Chains A and B, each alone.
Chain A
Amino acid sequence: MSTNTALPDVLDDSDVSRRDRLREQHGAKAPLLALAGGVLLLVSGLLSWSYDDRILGDISIRFYPAGIQIYAMVLGLVAVVLGVLLRRRPGWLNPGRGLAAVGWGSLVFVVVALVTIARQAGGSININEGGWVALVGALLVFAAGFVAQRFELNVRTWPRLPGWAEILVIVVLMAVLLFTTAYTLGLDDSWTFVCLLVTLLSVAIALVGSGFGEYVGFVGGNNRRVLLLAAFLVAFLFPFTQDGSDANMSIATQILIFAATALGLNIVVGLAGLLDLGYIAFLGTGAYVGAMLSQSTFATIGWKPPFLVVMLCGMAVASTFGLIIGSPTLRVSGDYLAIVTLGFGEIFRLAMFNLDGTNGPDLTNGPNGIPAIPDLNFFGWDFGKVHTVAGIPLGRFSNYYFLLLLLIAFVILVFSRLNDSRIGRGWVAIREDERAAEAMGVNVFGLKLLAFAIGAALAGLAGTIKAHQDTSVTPDQYIFLESAFLLAAVVLGGMGTVAGVLVGATILKLLPEKLRDAADYRLLLFGLLLVIMMRFRPEGLVASKRRQLEFHEDDEELVQLAQTEHLEEAK
C-alpha cells in the first residue's frame, strides 16, 4: 500500500462553495503569486534578518545564508517549483495542495522566526530587511496556496523512468534523509529547531499532498528491496555522521528501543486490535531479567549466563507473563481488557517495588533497583569502549545503536511477515468482527494469546538490551505513563504500519530532547497532542488506506481514490 495522498486539506473547514468560487475566479493568478512569493523567499535568504548576530544562529550577514535563511530558501524553492508545475499542469501532480501546505508552512515559519527575533533582541526594530521580505514572500505563497485550483490526480500517468534512474531517486532521497537527520539532530537552539521542523513538515506535506509521495511510493514499490536496503544503509551510516559525539547517539538508541517496543505493541493493538495499556511491563520484565542475570554485583540471582541466553530468557519470561496475563483476560471484551492490562501493569510495577526482602522475597532490591549493570561484550567487542572505524570514533552509544538496529530489523521482519500471513489475516479478522471470525473457523482465543505472547516476547527482548544500555533498572521506569507513550507512538504514527510507528516513536522521543525550553510543558503538550490527533487525524500520520477509510467513511473522494487504486493494483 502506498503512502497516503489525502492529507486533510487545510482549508476543508471553511465554506466550500465560497472557496470554490474564489478558486474559480482567481485560480489563474496562483502560479504567478507562487512564483513571486517563492522568489522573495529565495531572495530573503540572501539578506540579513536581524541586527543581532546571536539570535537563531547567525542570520545577520548578507549573501551568506545560514540557519533559518536556508530554510526560507528551501521553502522558496519548493514554492517556485510548485508554481511552475501549477502552470504546466502535469496530470500526475496536484500542485495546488502542495502550495497550500507550503503557504501555511512559510507563514508559520516566518512568523515564528520574526517573533523570536523580536522577543530575544527586544523589539521588532531589530528585524532586518530580510525578515520583512520573507514575510511578504510567505504571504504571497500563502495566497497562492489559498486560491490555487486542485486537480484530480490521474494515477495512471506516472512517468516511468529507467530502472537505474528510479534507484537513483531512492538513493538521493535516502541521502537527503540522512543529511537532514544528522543536521536536525545537530541543532542546539530550540527555536531554530522549531523553524526547521515547520519547514520540514510543510515541505513533506507539500510533497505528499501534491502527489510526489504517491510517486515515491510507486517507485519504492517497484524497487522494494532497494528501498529497504537503502533505508537500513542510511540508518547504519548515521553514527558515522556524528563524529564521535555520543549526545545524539544516546537519543538515537532511546528512539530505537522505544520504536522496537512500540512495534511489538503494534502487533497487539494494530493488528489484533487488543488494547493493552500495561505493555511497558513486558519491557520491564525483559529489563529485570537482563539485570538479574547480568554480571552486576547487585544481581539477586547467582546464575550469570552469556548474553545470548539472557536474551532468550528475557523473551521466554516476558512471553510467559504475556500468556499468564492473557489467558484469563482475553476472554474479556475490548474496553475491559484495556483496564485489566492497565491493572497488570501496575501490579508489575508494585511487585518490582515491593520485592525487596522485607515485603516478600528479595528479587529486585525494591525501589533502588539493580544498578551497576556492566556493558555488553560480544566476542571481545566491548560496548563500553570507543572504537575507531574508518577514522571515525564510535562511542558507547554507537555500539548499542548497531545492536539495536539489528533488533529493530528483526522486529520489523517479524511484524511484516506475520502481518502478511495466515496469522496476520486471522488477527485483522478478529479486530474487525470477533464473532464472525470465530464462525469462519478462526481460532480467536488462540490467536489473541499468540499476539500477546509475541508482543511480550519482542518487548522482553528489547528490555534485556535496555538494561545494559541504561546500566540500571528501577521500578519507576515502568510507570503507566510509559505505556501511554508507547500507545501514543503507535496511534500517532499510524496503527498497523511499520513506517508510522517509526515516525511516531521518533517524534515522541526526539521532540522532548530538542525542545529543552519547553521541557516542563512536555507532558502537557503530549496530552494535548493526543486529543488533537484523535480529533483531526485519528488514523495517524502514516496511515494505511484501510485505516483512513475506517475513520473517514463519509469522504467520497477518498473512497473512490482507494477503489481506483485497488483496481490498478489488481491489474
Chain B
Amino acid sequence: MELAQQLVNGLTLGSLYALIAVGYTVVYGIIQLINFAHGEIFMVGAFGALSTALLFFRSYVDEGQVLPFWALPVLILGAVAASVAIAVLMERIAYRPLRNAPRLAPLITAIGISVFLQEAVRLLYGKIPGFPDAKQKVPFPKIAVVSGDAWTPFGLTIQRSTIFTVGALVICAAGLFYFVSRTKTGRAMQAVSQDPDTARLMGINVDRIIVVAFVIGATLAAIAGIAQGLQVTNVNFKMGFLAGLKAFTAAVLGGIGNVWGAVLGGLTLGIVEALAIGFIPGTFGGSSWKDVWAFAILILVLVFRPQGLLGAKVVDRA
C-alpha cells in the first residue's frame, strides 16, 4: 500500500516535470539551445493564472471562496497567454540575434533572462494596482472539482490536483502527438530539427518554426504552472528555478530532443524521487535528500547512457 501511495505521488510529481520538460526538449531539438529560462516561463504561467483570477474572479478571491469549475479554462487561457507572450518576446529580443553566436552566448543570455524574470515578478508584480505583493508566497485560488478534499479509494490518498496534473499531461501529450505527426507545421518542425539549412531551402520558414517551438513549450509550462498552484496552493517568484532544473534533468533522462523521452523522463524522475523519499532507509532518506537523489540519477544516466533513455546516439563526423 505504501508502495502504491508513493507511486501515485511520483506520478503526480512526474507529470508536472514532464509538462515542463517538453518545453526544454522541443526547443533543444530545433535549435540546440538549453533555454535555461524555461523554468521562469512556468513561473510566469502560474502568475498569469493568478492574475486572471484576480481580474475576473475578484469577488471569489477576496472572500476566500472556491472558484467555479468553469473558471478553470479561463485561468488556463490566462496562464497560457502570459507564458506564450513572455516566451515569444524572449525568443525575439534575446535569442534570435544570437542564433549564430558561439554556444556560450545564448546560455548566458538565458541565465540573464532567468534572473531578470524572477526579479521582475518579485519587484513589479505588487506594483500593479490590485495585485498582491509577490516578494513572499502568494496564495493560489481554489477551483471547484480540482481543489478540495482528497479522494481515498482503496486506502490511497489521491489529491484532486493530481487528477488535473495527470489529466493535463495525457491531453497535452495526445495533442502534441497529433500536432507533430499529423499537421503540416508539425512535420516542418521535424524537418527543421533534422537539418535547418535544408529545411530552409525547402521553403520552410525556420524562424516561424522556432517561434512555434517556444509557443508549445510555453503552453505546456503554463498548464504545469496551474497544476503546481493547485497542488501546493501558493505560488512564488522562485518556483521556476528548481522545477526548471528538475524538468531539464527529466528531459536529459529521456533523451533531449525527443518529446516522448521528456514525458518518460519526467515520469521516471518523479517516481524515483517519490520512492527515494519513502524507501531509502536511515538518515539519508526522507524529503531532505530527495533532490540530491534526483541529481544523482541525472549523473548516472549521463555516465552510462549519455543519449538518454530514448535518445539516438550522435555520431561525430570526421
Chain A residues with a Cβ under 8 A of chain B: 269, 275, 328-329, 331-336, 338-340, 342-344, 346-347, 350-351, 353-354, 358-361, 435, 439, 480-481, 484, 487-488, 491, 495, 520-521, 523-524, 526-531, 534-535, 538, 550-551
Contact = CB atoms under 8 A, between A and B. Distances in A.
B64 to A, nearest CB: 30
A351 B106 contact: no
Contacts of B296: 347
Nearest to A269: B104
Interface stretch (B74-82, B116-124, B176-184, B223-231): B116-124
Interface stretch (B193-201, B202-210, B265-273, B283-291): B283-291
B170 interface: no
Contact of B102 (A339, A358, A439, A551): A551
B193 to A, nearest CB: 15
B140 interface: no
B185 to A, nearest CB: 26
B118 to A, nearest CB: 8
Nearest to A491: B108
Contacts of A339: 34, 245, 248-249, 252, 298
Contacts of B190: none
A275 B102 CA distance: 12
B66 interface: no
Contacts of B103: 334-335
Contacts of B112: 526-531, 534
Interface stretch (B54-62, B93-101, B141-149): B93-101
Contacts of A346: 245, 291, 295
Contact of B109 (A340, A523, A534): A534
B47 to A, nearest CB: 16
Given A343-B245, A534-B105, A534-B108, 17 more contacts: A329-B302, A329-B303, A333-B306, A343-B295, A359-B286, A360-B283, A360-B284, A435-B316, A488-B108, A488-B111, A491-B104, A524-B120, A524-B123, A527-B112, A527-B115, A527-B119, A538-B102
A527 B113 contact: yes
B158 interface: no
Contact of B299 (A329, A360, A491, A527): A329
B15 interface: no
B241 interface: yes
Contact of B292 (A338, A347, A439, A550): A347
Category for how many chain B residues contact A: 35 or more
Main secondary structure of the interface of A (DSSP, over half): helix
B279 to A, nearest CB: 16
A525 to B, nearest CB: 9
Nearest first, the 5 closest Cβ-Cβ pairs linking A and B are: A530-B112, A527-B116, A527-B115, A343-B295, A524-B119
A329 B299 CA distance: 7
Given A360-B284, A487-B111, A328 B302 contact: yes
A359 B289 CA distance: 8
B299 A340 contact: yes
Main secondary structure of the interface of B (DSSP, over half): helix
Given A339-B34, A359-B284, A480-B241, A520 B123 contact: yes
B168 interface: no
Contacts of A487: 108, 111
A531 B94 contact: yes
A354 B94 contact: no
Interface string B219-239: 000000000000000000000
A435 B115 contact: no
Given A342-B245, A354-B289, A534-B106, A523 B283 contact: no
B234 to A, nearest CB: 21
Contact of B107 (A331, A338, A340): A338
Nearest to B100: A553
Nearest to A355: B283
Given A339-B248, A480-B241, A528-B116, A521 B284 contact: no
A530 B109 contact: yes
19 contacts: A329-B299, A329-B303, A339-B34, A339-B248, A343-B298, A346-B291, A359-B289, A361-B283, A435-B318, A480-B241, A487-B108, A520-B123, A521-B119, A524-B119, A527-B115, A534-B94, A534-B108, A535-B109, A550-B102
B152 to A, nearest CB: 30
A332 B306 CA distance: 7
B46 to A, nearest CB: 19
Contacts of B295: 343-344, 346-347
A346 B299 CA distance: 13
Contacts of B97: 535
Contacts of A480: 241
Nearest to A547: B102
* Residue from the set B32, B104, B248, B316 with the largest chain A CB neighbour count within 10 Å: B104
Contacts of A527: 111-119
